[in-house]
């Protein structure tokens, strides 16, 4: 058997390192590091801005919540759909991510985005605060997903929607659809609609 060329050794080492990170993140979920925020701007099939806005069914004047927005890949498309009169509250555990997002908002002239830092398992909002909520490749980063889903159920108004997006691409925290559906239904949500033919998907749940 011949020796691997240098690039082959580098690729193999990178694969081993990525596998190690994936296993580590599966054991102990952590948010995307601020230094790697650029990865959240990489387009991913079936999790496009257009599809997110479509399945969220955001309407002008509504009050919506985005958990784990990173620097804002989906944020501004949703915020635009809520105009006029609506607000998009962005909630992240990392203040640096929120600062980066709000800098982008200022450059774009977007003034209906409201940031807040904290833990998704203990949302600092009153009951029935929002018409809709959005989490894209975020749920798996939260230790105790069940607690986060229960909190979302508490802050979403009756008839409101929650959209969760997941993909295995570049995401060691990927949550499979059957697992998501079971946990969401246990939290009190009703599954309503799914977009995406394979492992990558957007799923909408309703609070009755």
Is the domain of 24 the same as that of 98? Answer: no
Is the domain of 25 the same as that of 81? Answer: no
Is the domain of 37 the same as that of 15? Answer: no
- The more confidently predicted of residues 83 and 173 is 83
Is the domain of 23 the same as that of 36? Answer: no
Is the domain of 152 the same as that of 115? Answer: yes
Is the domain of 18 the same as that of 50? Answer: no
* Residue 31: predicted pLDDT: 62
Host domain of residue 10? 1-30
Is the domain of 73 the same as that of 140? Answer: yes
- Total structural domains within the chain: 2
Q: What is the CATH number of the domain that holds 153?
A: 3.40.50.150
CA dist., res. 135 & res. 140, Å (int): 10
Is the domain of 16 the same as that of 106? Answer: no
Is the domain of 39 the same as that of 129? Answer: yes
Q: What is the pLDDT of residues 115-148, one digit of tens each?
A: 999 999 999 999 999 999 999 999 999 999 999 9
CA dist., res. 62 & res. 86, Å (int): 5
* Residue 37: predicted pLDDT: 56
Q: What is the pLDDT of residues 16-50, one digit of tens each?
A: 334 444 434 444 566 666 555 556 666 677 799 99
* Residue 122: predicted pLDDT: 98
Output the CA–CA distances (angstroms, integers) from residue 22 to 12, 169, 193, in the order listed.
Answer: 15, 11, 29
* Residue 197: predicted pLDDT: 81
Is the domain of 12 the same as that of 37? Answer: no
């Amino acid at each position: 058997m011949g020796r691997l060329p240098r690039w082959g050794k580098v690729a193999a080492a990178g694969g081993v390192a990525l596998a190690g990170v994936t296993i580590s993140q599966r054991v102990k979920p952590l948010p995307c590091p601020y230094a790697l925020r650029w990865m959240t701007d990489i387009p991913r099939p079936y999790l496009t801005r257009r599809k997110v806005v479509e399945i969220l069914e955001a309407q002008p004047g509504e009050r919506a919540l985005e958990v784990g927005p990173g620097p804002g890949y989906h944020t501004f498309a949703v915020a635009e759909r809520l105009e006029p009169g609506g607000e998009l509250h962005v909630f992240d555990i990392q203040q640096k991510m929120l600062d980066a997002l709000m800098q982008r908002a200022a450059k774009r002239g977007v003034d209906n985005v409201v940031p807040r830092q904290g833990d998704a398992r203990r949302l600092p909002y009153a009951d029935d605060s929002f018409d809709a909520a959005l989490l894209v490749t975020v749920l798996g980063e939260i230790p105790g997903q069940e607690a986060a889903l229960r909190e979302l159920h508490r802050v979403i108004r009756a008839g409101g929607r929650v959209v969760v997006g997941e993909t295995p691409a570049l995401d060691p925290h990927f949550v499979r659809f059957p697992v998501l559906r079971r946990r969401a239904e246990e939290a009190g949500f009703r599954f309503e609609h799914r977009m995406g033919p394979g492992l990558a998907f957007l799923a909408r749940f309703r609070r009755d």
